[in-house]
Amino acid sequence: MFGQRNVDPNPGTHYRCERVSAVNGQYFFSTREGTLEGPYFTRVDAIHGIDAYINRMQVASALYALAGR
């Protein structure tokens, strides 16, 4: 997959992969920034956590943009 985020200086290739993983019965998801978020009790909770993480990042980006005015 070819894509570029606004903060990326150069175009890059991003490969889709499973973002949710299980470690010792707990679930985590990985981010583009290279962090591992969790733990969650179930895979469904981790998937909901992904949605919440995306929303937090979008709000933080919007606030950052407003502060830079």
Q: How far apart are CA 60 and CA 54, in angstroms?
A: 10
- Domain span including residue 58: 2-67
Backbone angles phi, psi at 33, to 5 degrees: -75, -5
The mean pLDDT value for 52-69 works out to: 91
Which residues partner with 12 through β-bridges? Answer: 3
User: pLDDT tier at 68 (50, 70, 90 boundaries)?
Assistant: confident
Are 28 and 40 in contact by the 8 Å Cβ rule? The answer is yes
Structure tokens at 11: 């175009």
Report whether 27 contacts 15 (CB < 8 A): no
Q: Which of 12-16, 36-40, 47-51, 60-64 has the lowest mean pLDDT?
A: 12-16
Residue 59 main-chain phi, psi, to 5 deg: -65, -45
Domains in the chain, number: 1
